[in-house]
Amino acid sequence: MKLEGVEIHHVSLPLVGPFRTSFGTQTTRDLLVLRVVTDVGEGWGECVTMPSPLYSAEYTEGAADVLRRFLVPALAGRSDLDGAAVLPALAAVKGHRMAKAALEMGVLDAELRAAGRSFARELGAVHDRVPCGVSVGIMDSIPELLDAVGGYLDEGYLRIKLKIEPGWDVEPVRAVRERFGDGVLLQVDANTAYTLGDAAQLARLDPFDLLLVEQPLEEEDVLGHADLAKLVRTPICLDESITSARDAAAAIRLGACSVVNVKPGRVGGYLEARRIHDVAAAHGVPVWCGGMLETGLGRAANVALAALPGFTLPGDTSASGRYYREDITEPFVLADGHLAVPQGPGLGVLPVPERLAVVTTRTEWVPG
């Protein structure tokens, strides 16, 4: 394959409601959709950065800049391009994994569409549907939270994740357990909001039989998570700290986590995500597929990934309607708490042209 160029779509999608985490409140989803044009056809990639570097160091305008100035040019002129060649070809550029992941996704989609093979088949999926969880933002009050959780359980979600921060942790968990019972699969995500000095407070979550606590400490503090793991009973899951299969192997060996959240954007793409799955599976460590409020494009690929055998916990692979009144693809709809794994060539879904046009604020063409 040969890259002819990449059309970067700057997209702004309204969220169905504000989504509050320990790092801020989002009301729209501003991200990049890439139309990757090759000599065998086109493919679609999605860059999951946020407009500000609050979840991790990457941010959307920075991703557009590195794509246009460094990443797309690094693939230009190659005649032997395929999905697997992308990350190695970009190795000279440090970091920028979400931008790299988007480009790899688009090239892989073009390759697989041309070959008539699905993402699911390519990655090694073993299920034709995946169980889904939902991530529930921080709310102004407990009654508001209980309404939201009740609504999601009524919709059929099989696992609830509560966003937490200091001052919003034990009480919301207790309230959800009291209202909805011990049978609900329940976990929490701190997005780095705590320190090791908060260990006693985090240990107060022990009695609630949570599946896991996600990323309590800062991104760089893998060793701190290993120390924390000795002070709390809830299993620790890493998200932000894991940016590669090597990180995952190190974190597991250090005892810093006993579960891993796999987000393809965070780790530089779906192929590295599969390697993390493989490393974790070799250690008997369960993984689950995280979410970055993807459009239907990223959601399609995430659902394919989540169908690999080691993804033994429900993911943040929610239905389109959890975030968007109108997605840019045909919507993913929950059926019996599951999403169907797309089986068509490539991602198995395409943007609806009129929908993409409505939410695109700007496009730019970057020649290959």
Q: Which of 106, 265, 286, 290 binds ligand NPQ (CB under 6 A)?
A: 290
Picking from 201, 195, 150, 152, the residue whose alpha carbon sits closest to that of residue 175 is 150
> Given the complex with Mg ion, which of 109 and 239 has the nearer CB atom?
239
193 near ligand NPQ, judged by CB under 6 A: no
Residue number, 48 or 81, with CB nearest to ligand NPQ? 48
Using a 10 angstrom Cβ sphere, with 0-12 exposed, 13-18 middle and 19 or more buried, the burial of residue 66 is buried
Site string for ligand NPQ, 209-248 (x = CB under 6 A): ------------------------------x---------
Q: Measured between alpha carbons, how far is 304 from 308 in angstroms, rounded to an integer?
A: 8
Residues within window 304-333 making contact with ligand NPQ, judged by CB under 6 A: 316
CB of 46 to ligand NPQ, least distance (A): 12
Is 263 assigned a catalytic role? yes
**Distance (Å, whole) CA 26 – CA 14:** 10
Q: Whose CB is nearest to ligand NPQ?
A: 135
Alpha-carbon distances of 84 from 107, 116, 236, 269, rounded to whole Å: 9, 17, 31, 10
Are the C-beta atoms of 300 and 348 separated by less than 8 Å? yes
2, 100, 163, 230: the active-site residue: 163
| Dihedrals phi, psi of 129, to nearest 5 degrees | -155, 155
Shortest reach from residue 241's CB to Mg ion, in Å:
10
Residues in CB range of 228: below 8 A, 6 or more apart: 196, 199, 202, 216, 217, 236
| Residue choice 104, 111, 122, 189 for contact with ligand NPQ (CB under 6 A) | 189
Count CB neighbours of 77 within 10 A.
Answer: 10
* Minimal distance, residue 298 CB to Mg ion, in Å: 15
Contacts with Mg ion, residue ranges (CB under 5 A): 189, 214, 239
Q: Judged by CB under 6 A, which stretch of 119-127, 289-297, 341-349, 360-368 contacts ligand NPQ?
A: 289-297
Q: Which does 21 bind (CB under 5 to 8 A by kind): Mg ion, ligand NPQ, none?
A: ligand NPQ
Residues making contact with ligand NPQ (CB under 6 A): 19, 21, 26, 29, 50, 55, 135, 189, 191, 239, 290-293, 316
Cite the active site residues: 163, 263
